[in-house]
Every structure is written in structure tokens, then in C-alpha cells.
Amino acid sequence: MDLLHIALSAYVVTTIFALAMTYKEQKQSGHVTPVFALIGACSCIIWPLVGAFMAFWQWTTARNVSRF
């Protein structure tokens, strides 16, 4: 199993957990509407990608700085 498989597995697990918790929170608060459900789902899918991108960007920047 290489790094890509591990990263994708972590992303899928994180996204599923975030979707489940968002759905549970919306259900408990009683604010389940199609618009809120869509916004919550999109947010749960996008934020792990943003975090991964930021970590990758920091890693590549740190590698480039250490070369000089």
C-alpha cells in the first residue's frame, strides 16, 4: 500500500465521518432542508481537500526552502 492509497483512505474516512456528524447535527436541530443538506455535504467533501492541499503546499515549500 503506497502513500496515495493511505491518503485516499484517510480522506474517505474523514469525509464519511464529517457527513455522518453533519447529518446527525442537522437531524437533532430540526433544520434539515435540501439547501442546508447540500451545503453541509459540499462542505464535508471540500474541507478535507483544502486541508490536504495546504499540507502538501507547506511540505513542498519547506522542501524548496531547505535546498537553498
Whole-number CA gyration radius for the chain: 16
Q: Where are the domains of the chain?
A: 3-66
pLDDT of residue 1: 66
Does the pTM exceed 0.85?
A: no
State which amino acid sits at residue 28: Q
Which distant-in-sequence residues (6+ apart) come within 8 Å of 21 by Cβ? none
pLDDT of residue 30: 82
Q: Are 12 and 52 in contact (CB under 8 A)?
A: no
Locate 5 and state its grid cell: 492509497
Which distant-in-sequence residues (6+ apart) come within 8 Å of 18 by Cβ? 44, 47, 48
| pLDDT tens column, 1-60 | 677 788 878 888 988 998 899 888 888 988 778 888 888 888 888 888 888 888 888 878
pLDDT of residue 68: 54
